[in-house]
Amino acid sequence: MNSKLIAKSVSFLLLLSSCANQALVPPMPETALISIAQDATGQLVSLYPPAQTHLVLESDGRNVFGDKFENQLRQSGYALYEMTDKSQGQPQGKRFAYILDALNDVSHYGYYRLTLNIGDEQLSRLYDANDLSKPNYWSYRK
């Protein structure tokens, strides 16, 4: 009896863990991704001068938003160094990472959240999932 209960519990946990590997962001129109990338780049430009700031990109993988955002950063004059191997020595520049994820079920009036980590600082902003309006200001945390 106990072995059946343990087997069912393990099966249930495996099922739950497979659900946790879902994508963070549901599919978005390309225009929405471009709009968010431009907004984030504009905020970075206002805080970190592009021609003087080298960003060391800590990325876990390629995605559509990441491609748009990184291209936008390069077009704005940022030097991006992509860390592909953590065992490499730390290059000169500010560590930089970003996450675009969905808050709530975006099909029922939810929000997208973009979080930018620059060195020890963090910027974050919400975007309305229905019309991509910006319902708040950028939040800053050090």
Contact 94, 134 (CB under 8 A): no
> First-to-last CA distance in the chain?
53
Residue 89 forms part of a structural domain: yes
Global pTM value: 0.74
Residue 10 forms part of a structural domain: no
Residue 20 forms part of a structural domain: no
CATH code for the domain of 44: 3.40.50
Residue 38 forms part of a structural domain: yes
- What would the pLDDT profile of 117-140 be if each residue is shown by its tens digit? 999 999 999 888 777 777 788 999
Is residue 77 over pLDDT 60? Answer: yes
Is residue 78 over pLDDT 80? Answer: yes
What residues contact 129, with CB distance under 8 A and at least 6 apart? 102, 106, 107, 109, 110, 111, 112
Residue 1 forms part of a structural domain: no
Q: What is the pLDDT of residue 129?
A: 76
Residue 14 forms part of a structural domain: no
Mean pLDDT computed over 71-76: 95
139-141: strand order across its sheet? 79-83, 54-58, 94-103, 111-118, 121-128, 139-141
What residues contact 25, with CB distance under 8 A and at least 6 apart? 65, 100, 101, 102, 112
The total number of structural domains in the chain stands at: 1
- Which of 72-76, 88-92, 136-140 has maximum average pLDDT? 72-76
Residue 32 forms part of a structural domain: yes
**Which region among 22-31, 69-78, 92-101 has the lowest average model confidence (pLDDT)?**
22-31
Q: Which structure tokens are listed for 96?
A: 């930089």
- What would the pLDDT profile of 6-55 be if each residue is shown by its tens digit? 544 444 444 443 333 344 556 778 888 899 999 999 999 999 999 899 99
Residue 45 forms part of a structural domain: yes
Q: Which structure tokens are listed for 103?
A: 């808050």
Q: What is the pLDDT of residue 28?
A: 78
Show the domain range for 90.
26-141
Angstrom distances, CA of residue 9 to CA of 15, 17, 21, 22, 24: 10, 12, 19, 21, 26
